[in-house]
Structure 1
Amino acid sequence: MRALCWHGKYDVRVDTVPDPTILEPTDAIIKITSTAICGSDLHLYDGYMPSMKSGDILGHEPMGIVVEVGKAVTKLKKGDRVVVPFVIACGCCFFCSKTLYSCCDTTNPNAEEASKAMGHAPAGLFGFSHMMGGYSGGQAEYLRVPHADVGPIKIESGLPDEQVLFLSDIFPTGYMAAENADIEPGDTVAVWGCGPVAQMCIQSCWMMKAGRVIAIDRVPERLAMARSMGRAETINFDEEDVYERLQEMTGGRGPDRCIDAVGCEAHGTGGVDAVVDKLKAAVMLATDRAHALRQALFCCRKGGTVSVPGAYVGMVDKFPFGGAMNKGLTIKMGQTHVQRYTQPLLEKIEAGEIDPSFVITHRRTLEEAPDAYKTFRDKADGCIKVVLRP
């Protein structure tokens, strides 16, 4: 089959690789009909994620048609149309029993390696390094799906791929981020970033009865989408001081809830911390540029909540822990427990409450994926979200 493979920093290629096969009786094989490039994929493309190996197949936002199932699979059959969550979960361990699927205790075969870096190992993830399990990803013609009775959700309506594809990651991720923010009716929520996850955060904040949503970015197309599709007020951090503007907009109190939907490759045009982050990352003395997170903690009102769906890789320095403690902030974060959200969010799509496809700006074939990665990374040609069709 053809698959998009990582070969080093800024080096991804479409290679011919062996087709996946059933390895465990709980596996399924799906033929990919649509897949997407995620902002988290750029952390691999940019060389910040450790434990990558040349030839690793990327991608964790896939959907397709079941072509084969293992003998223990009972919920899927050949011909079923499914969306596959990026988190691989067993469904029966201590954490899965609490619906903490991204903390699954059994699906990361490289748990020892991850534990050395993190203290404990998270669940296995598709296409996201060997520390996260070494699983092949879904930017390919076919995908092996472990624990097929736990992850994939069947799409039994005639909804097109583009409306349901993002149940694999960005819609549940944005929704969980808003949920983690503990939004109360009427709250002012500030969202750092206007990329695809942030756009889903904005939509989800309104679902949770926010009174105002303020979106922060510097890319004109993303800010325009946040205003038009997200009904958000916006701040361009290239043009305004974010803290001062938020103080002005909230009468000096600060936003009630802040969401860092940027993650480890934040850009900052002001402040010593952003400059130091950039310099240390350039010489590989650091993996995470956490300017957006620091700013969210600084701007959030006393007693507020900071939610972090943005992906981080390693150690974050210059962390304003004293300010967070003295202001009494609550911080909630984590990889998304996707399986908890797929069914209720599918029902929202089917009911017409939201059409997540509004974020798509570029559609490409799998063979065009290397160029699409560069376009997405550079935010060129108005690129916000890329969908690939093998």
Structure 2
Amino acid sequence: MKALTWHGKHDIRCESVPDPKIEAGRDAIIKVTACAICGSDLHLYNGIMPDMHSGDIMGHETMGEVVEVGKDNKKLKVGDRVVVPFTISCGECFFCKRGFFSGCERSNPDPSKAKKLWGSSPAGLFGYTHLLGGYSGGQAEYLRVPYADVGPIKVPDGLTDEQVLFLSDIFPTGYMAADFCNIQPGDTIAVWGCGPVGQMAIKSAFILGAERVIAIDTVPERLALAEKSRAITLDFMDKDIYDRIMELTSGRGADACIDAVGTEAEPSASWDSRLDRIKVATFMGTDRPHVLRQAIHCCRNFGTISIVGVYGGFLDKIPMGSAINRGLTFRMAQTPVQHYLPLLMERIQKGEIDPSFIITHRATLEEGPDLYRTFRDKQDGCIKVVLKP
């Protein structure tokens, strides 16, 4: 089959690889009908995340048609259309039973690597380093899905691939970001990053009852799309974000702040942003957490910081004095996608949201390597790429 494979920093190739096979009784094989390039895939493309191996298959936003099921899988049958969560979860361990599917204790076959970096291992993920299981990803013609009687959700008749594909990651992640904010009537929510997850967080914040959403980015196409969702937009290269948020909130700060950027924050004029880049370039730091620092300062007393942008290592110069003395609450996670899937599928069916609004580019797998570069460089108005094998 054809698949997009990683061969080093900025080296993604479309090449032939062996077809996946059933390896355990609860597995399923799906024929991929749509997949996407995620912003977190760019961390792999840019060589930020450790323990990628040459030839690893990329991708964790995938859906398709079931073509084979293992002997112990009683949930799925050949011909089912399914969306596959990016988190691989057994459904039976301590965390899965409590709904914390992204903390699954069984799905990472070699948790020792993650434990060395993070203390404990979270769930295995599709196409996302050998720290998290080394599983083949879904930017391919076929995908093996472990624990397929827990993860995939069947797609109801009448919904298109593009309406439901993002249930695999960015819609649940953006919704979780807003859900973490404990939104009350009249609240103002600030969202850093108007990429795909940020756009979903903006939509979700309004769905959950926010009065205002302030969206922060510098890419014109992203800011324009946020405005279509009724957000107040701020260009961080044009305005002092702290001053503007204080002006908009009568000096109090946002009720909750969402970091939908993570480790590779774009450079700004601030001293800490420049210092982050120097530290990472000289191997004196692992991440560039400028956005998180700014979000903490812009949040009102006893507000909430919701973090869904991916960080990989040890963050430097985080203003914990501000957070502690002002009573901030921090909420963060890799999304337990399975927890949110039934609710979000229902919202799509009811017409409350059509996640396909985010798509700007549609292409084949063969065009994927070039579109990784286009997406990274934010060229051609690229916000979200969908690939159809």
TM-score range for the pair, normalised by the shorter chain length: over 0.9
Q: Distance in 2 between matches of 1:233 and 1:273?
A: 25
Is 247-256 or 269-278 further displaced after alignment? 269-278
Deviation of the 1:314 alpha carbon: 0.6
Residue number in structure 2 paired with 1:351:
350
Residue number in structure 2 paired with 1:155:
155
Q: Structure 2: which 5+ residue stretches go unaligned?
A: none
1:215-272 CA-partner distances (Å, limit 9, x unpaired): 00000000000001x1100100110000000011100000010000011101131222
Q: Distance in 2 between matches of 1:149 and 1:300?
A: 41
1:128-156 CA-partner distances (Å, limit 9, x unpaired): 00001100000000000000000000012
Q: Is the 8 A contact 1:277 1:286 kept in 2?
A: yes
Instruction: Write the mapping of 1:1-390 to structure 2, written as runs, cut at 5 A.
Output: 1-228=1-228, 230-390=229-389
Secondary structure at the aligned position of 2:254 is classed as coil
Secondary structure at the aligned position of 1:131 is classed as helix
Letter in 2 for 1:333: M
Letter in 2 for 1:249: L
Q: Distance in 2 between matches of 1:334 and 1:55?
A: 28
Q: Distance in 2 between matches of 1:256 and 1:210?
A: 10
Letter in 1 for 2:356: S
Q: Distance in 2 between matches of 1:182 and 1:9?
A: 39
Q: Distance in 2 between matches of 1:206 and 1:30?
A: 34
Secondary structure at the aligned position of 2:340 is classed as helix
Q: Distance in 1 between matches of 2:202 and 2:92?
A: 33
Q: Is the 8 A contact 1:85 1:339 kept in 2?
A: yes
Secondary structure at the aligned position of 1:95 is classed as helix
Q: Distance in 1 between matches of 2:348 and 2:63?
A: 16
Q: Distance in 2 between matches of 1:363 and 1:43?
A: 21
Q: Is the 8 A contact 1:101 1:123 kept in 2?
A: yes
Q: Is the 8 A contact 1:298 1:323 kept in 2?
A: yes
Secondary structure at the aligned position of 2:163 is classed as helix
Is 234-243 or 275-284 further displaced after alignment? 275-284
Deviation of the 1:285 alpha carbon: 3.1
Deviation of the 1:282 alpha carbon: 2.1
Runs ≥4 residues deviating over 3 A: none
Q: Distance in 2 between matches of 1:372 and 1:201?
A: 24
Deviation of the 1:184 alpha carbon: 1.2
Q: Distance in 2 between matches of 1:293 and 1:267?
A: 12
Q: Distance in 2 between matches of 1:366 and 1:294?
A: 38
Q: Distance in 1 between matches of 2:13 and 2:126?
A: 18
Distance 1:53 1:373, change over 3 A: same
Deviation of the 1:183 alpha carbon: 1.2
Q: Distance in 1 between matches of 2:269 and 2:96?
A: 42
Is 299-308 or 274-283 further displaced after alignment? 274-283
TM-score, L = length of structure 2: 0.99
Q: Distance in 2 between matches of 1:144 and 1:321?
A: 43
Q: Distance in 1 between matches of 2:288 and 2:58?
A: 23
Q: Distance in 1 between matches of 2:224 and 2:160?
A: 25
Q: Distance in 1 between matches of 2:177 and 2:156?
A: 27
Letter in 2 for 1:157: D
Letter in 1 for 2:75: K
Q: Is the 8 A contact 1:185 1:208 kept in 2?
A: no
1:26-46 CA-partner distances (Å, limit 9, x unpaired): 100000000000000000000
Q: Distance in 2 between matches of 1:272 and 1:237?
A: 14
Q: Distance in 2 between matches of 1:169 and 1:157?
A: 21
Secondary structure at the aligned position of 2:73 is classed as coil
Identity of matched residues, %: 63
Q: Distance in 2 between matches of 1:20 and 1:261?
A: 33
Q: Distance in 2 between matches of 1:93 and 1:336?
A: 17
Secondary structure at the aligned position of 1:206 is classed as helix
Letter in 1 for 2:338: Q
1:162-214 CA-partner distances (Å, limit 9, x unpaired): 00000000000001111111111110000001000000000110111111100
Deviation of the 1:110 alpha carbon: 1.8
Q: Distance in 1 between matches of 2:352 and 2:367?
A: 33
Q: Is the 8 A contact 1:5 1:57 kept in 2?
A: yes
Secondary structure at the aligned position of 1:340 is classed as helix
Is 44-53 or 266-275 further displaced after alignment? 266-275
Letter in 2 for 1:363: R
Q: Distance in 1 between matches of 2:174 and 2:140?
A: 25
Q: How many residues align?
A: 389
